Chains A and B, each alone.
Chain A
Amino acid sequence: MTPGSTPAACAALLRRDLTLAWRRRGDIAMPVLYAVIVATLFPFALGPEPALLARIAGGVVLVTVVLAILLSLDNLFRGDIEDGSMELLMLAPQPLALLVGVKILAHWIVSSLPLIVVAPLLASMLKLPAPAMPVLVATLALATPLLCLLGAILVALTAGSRRSGMLLALMLLPLCVPVVIFAAGAVAAAQDGLPWVAPVAWLGAGLVLALVLAPLACAAALRIAMDS
């Protein structure tokens, strides 16, 4: 790759973000720890009856993962905006949408991949039947990047404001309703022995749409938020 070309810039940005995340390994563990704690609380609240837990396992794991991603989203752009590297990215000759897409990819690797790895463990703690397990992992593999892409638009919008924590949750809820419906629908269908391909296909379609549109929207939102 020639230095300064678009692929080289993307690779450099990805390497930089991953290195920065690796330097603060404790932060990577936080969403996972959070998901484990939330999932552990459910049996205490609802009772340890296996039939009940198996019924709700898919939904609980999904909601837990959504919440963990929501928590981690807050610092997607914050460091870059505080130390000024976001301005440099905006001034770079490469299209901002592409660079933002790379940043979202790095964030997904750091925050969501560990969650996908730990999700089967949580699900088996909650007695999810084994046949539904691959479907759960597949839906998470599609749903988590989708959530990261959708959330990135909202994080970019709140980038210029002072307080954003609860506001982000309020804004993300309407966007994640369809994702949760289709993901949980696929797991529930697999659990009941019904065909589960249709909701997974819808998730995939949503992911393709978001992959194309979300970085563009995110770049536009960042330009609005940083424009002061």
Chain B
Amino acid sequence: MANWVPLWLHRLSSPPVFYRFAGAVRPWALGLALLLGGVALYGGLFIAPADYQQGDAYRIIFIHVPSAWMSLFIYGVMAVAAFIGLVWRIKLAETVAMESAPVGAAFTLITLVTGSLWGKPMWGTWWTWDARLTSELVLLFIYLGIVGLYHSFEDRRQGARAASFLVLVGAVNVPIVHFSVNWWNTLHQGSTVRLLGPSHIDASMLWPLLTMMAATKLYYVASLFARVRADFIVAESGKGWVRDLALNTPGNDAA
């Protein structure tokens, strides 16, 4: 069994190597994300039929649902990266965890905003203390806390480690919040509102949704890689490879 995979991963975790790798991957990811996003939007806004009950208003799910998935998916990626960064002290993992947080916060905010835009015509209110809405809001606060903690330290790596720890605390907390909020809501009053169940959905509406999901994933990769590149440049500004990059020394093929 060839052990090139771990060797390649090990090499990749070095900042200059990852900088070049991310620079090569990023335009492709961004281009594919825009392409798939455009296709999904066209499919969702023009091809998919209107809902028999909600009319055209349901079409916001093509933004809302993929964003909601991403807000949880990015937290998962962040938690894994934070764990790896804390245990093995790999700089790449710490940076990935820290630079994922603003992207995740953005997706969470998009989820909340589109949800409330949809809620106004459907439920007649911008905001309701539904269990899922509340959990999503708490998730946004966790993201913001992580970003704030990371930036409150003088030393970046120390800040990254402290914030990574907060990521893990939050990972334990998110299920507890979701469970307790569910309990809270059922205690006081039966909620009359339910979000759209993705399982009862027609194929003509499903494919734009799945395409948009792929587009948001690719956009996350592109955005994350750009952020990690910028972070590496700042963190390693005293190192030789950044100096070569800045002075554009010949023989350096970094993009």
Chain A residues in the interface with B (C-beta under 8 A): 153-154, 157-158, 160-164, 167, 170-171, 173-175, 177-178, 181-182, 185, 188-189, 202, 217, 220-221, 224-225, 227-228
Contacts and interface: CB of A to CB of B under 8 A. Distances in A.
A174 B158 contact: no
Contacts of A177: 138, 177, 180-181
A62 B148 CA distance: 27
B154 interface: yes
A108 to B, nearest CB: 20
Q: Max chain B CB contacts within 10 Å: which of A153, A167, A224?
A: A224
Contacts of B169: 153, 175, 217
Contacts of B148: 167, 170-171
B94 to A, nearest CB: 12
Nearest to A214: B169
Contacts of A158: 149, 152, 162
Contacts of A227: 158, 161
8 contacts: A161-B162, A171-B166, A173-B141, A177-B180, A181-B180, A181-B183, A181-B184, A227-B161
A185 B179 CA distance: 14
Contact of A224 (B142, B144, B161, B176): B161
A220 B169 CA distance: 12
A188 B183 CA distance: 14
B43 interface: no
Given A167-B152, A174-B138, A174-B141, A182 B180 contact: yes
A225 B162 contact: yes
A149 B22 CA distance: 41
Given A161-B152, A171-B149, A173-B141, A181 B162 contact: no
Interface string B131-149: 0000000110110110011
B115 interface: no
Contacts of B28: none
Given A153-B169, A171-B148, 17 more contacts: A157-B162, A157-B165, A167-B152, A170-B144, A170-B145, A170-B148, A174-B142, A174-B173, A178-B177, A178-B179, A181-B184, A185-B183, A185-B184, A220-B165, A221-B165, A224-B165, A225-B162
B138 A171 contact: no
A111 B106 CA distance: 37
B159 interface: yes
Contacts of B253: none
Interface string B147-191: 011001111001101100110011001001101110110011000
Contacts of B176: 178
Q: Max chain B CB contacts within 10 Å: which of A158, A161, A162, A220?
A: A161
A25 to B, nearest CB: 32
Contact of A164 (B152, B166, B184): B152
Contacts of A228: 155, 158
Contacts of A217: 165, 169
Contacts of A161: 149, 152-154, 159, 162
